[in-house]
């Protein structure tokens, strides 16, 4: 009897010790750093992620969002992820070329006909596989988030590719973008997003390529008067985490986080086009900007000038990946 009692006491104290440690467990903190404005598609996605995580995993996971390169700029954020200084990022797909050259497929000019084609590609097996293209570098892709199609903003109206010659354009750190502007006889100057506004206002560059939402949220209408609607490429994101951190999260919590990500991605991707349309309208309403719409012939001239870049990158990206991306446009 005495032995039984001792056994019960020991079991109870073990139980209470584990309950105490569960109650004392610190929440997992996810620091989510990004470089754009809080009201951009990515900024809103990060906020929604925080809100849903804190509703559904209270006391278990805490999310801190750092927008506008407050914590890290896009030149050092991936290293910060690997060093465990942040746990989540959503860099533009153009920023992974040092980690997975095949992701440069998203940078090829005029490869995707529209956002619907990009969405299809991202949901097909080839696109899903690309989320895992950096696991050997300890980076896990969790999902894709949309922003939108790239347009050209410049000091002068650009109707034909030759008019871009000799201009300097701020670009993301993307070898494909460097080659794309070289193909126009222009110069692509890679620099972090946080330096774009200063470079445009100082005259260090005379133009840039980006989405309407990124132009408007940085108030670029105050700096450059012309936007040519080329839709020549895409700015989309990969939501990523440090793979060791991610797989270290207890399974039940990680599953809930994955379910939340699915929900947030659907919402970001549903709203991105709406946000870009509103940003375009905002730029027009400012009265500072003239939008240049291209005729079919003019558009074809831009396509012919930029498309030779595909061949330059085919070996790095892989013909199979390019073909799968092309199929998504059909």
- Interface residue list for ligand LMR (CB under 6 A): 35-36, 42, 74, 92, 147, 172, 193, 210, 214, 235
Token pair, residue 13, equals 């104290």
Q: Closest CB to ligand LMR among 169 and 310?
A: 169
CB of 183 to ligand LMR, least distance (A): 20
CB of 281 to ligand LMR, least distance (A): 19
Q: Which residue is nearest to ligand LMR (CB)?
A: 92
Q: Closest CB to ligand LMR among 256 and 267?
A: 267
CB of 220 to ligand LMR, least distance (A): 11
CB of 279 to ligand LMR, least distance (A): 12
Q: Closest CB to ligand LMR among 191 and 257?
A: 191
Q: Closest CB to ligand LMR among 36 and 53?
A: 36
Q: Closest CB to ligand LMR among 74 and 102?
A: 74
CB of 90 to ligand LMR, least distance (A): 7
CB of 194 to ligand LMR, least distance (A): 9
Q: Closest CB to ligand LMR among 121 and 193?
A: 193
Q: Which of 145, 137, 158 is nearest to 266 (CA)?
A: 145
Q: Closest CB to ligand LMR among 231 and 249?
A: 231
CB of 167 to ligand LMR, least distance (A): 17
């Amino acid at each position: 009897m005495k032995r039984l009692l001792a056994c019960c006491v020991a079991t109870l104290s073990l139980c209470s010790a584990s309950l105490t440690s569960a109650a004392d467990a610190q929440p997992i903190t996810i620091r989510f750093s990004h470089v754009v404005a809080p009201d951009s598609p990515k900024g809103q996605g990060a906020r929604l992620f925080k809100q849903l995580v804190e509703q559904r995993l209270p006391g278990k996971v805490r999310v801190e969002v750092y927008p506008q390169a407050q914590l890290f700029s896009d030149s050092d954020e991936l290293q910060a992820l690997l060093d465990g200084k942040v746990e989540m990022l959503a860099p533009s797909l153009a920023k992974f070329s040092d980690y997975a050259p095949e992701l440069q497929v998203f940078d090829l000019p005029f490869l995707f006909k529209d956002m619907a084609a990009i969405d299809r590609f991202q949901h097909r097996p080839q696109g899903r596989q690309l989320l895992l293209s950096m696991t050997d570098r300890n980076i896990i892709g969790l999902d894709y988030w949309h922003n939108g199609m790239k347009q050209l903003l410049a000091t002068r109206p650009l109707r034909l590719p030759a008019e871009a010659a000799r201009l300097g354009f701020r670009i993301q750190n993307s070898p494909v973008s460097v080659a794309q502007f070289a193909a126009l006889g222009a110069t692509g100057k890679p620099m972090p997003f946080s330096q774009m506004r200063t470079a445009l206002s100082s005259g260090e560059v005379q133009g840039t390529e980006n989405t309407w939402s990124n132009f408007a949220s940085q108030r670029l209408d105050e700096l450059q008067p012309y936007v040519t609607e080329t839709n020549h490429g895409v700015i989309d994101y990969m939501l990523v985490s440090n793979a060791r951190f991610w797989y270290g999260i207890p399974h039940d919590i990680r599953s809930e986080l994955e379910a939340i990500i699915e929900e947030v991605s659907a919402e970001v991707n549903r709203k991105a086009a709406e946000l870009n349309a509103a940003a375009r309208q905002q730029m027009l309403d400012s009265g500072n900007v003239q939008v240049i719409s291209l005729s079919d012939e003019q558009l074809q001239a831009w396509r012919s000038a930029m498309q030779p870049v595909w061949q330059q990158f085919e070996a790095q990206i892989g013909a199979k990946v390019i073909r799968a991306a092309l199929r998504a446009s059909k």
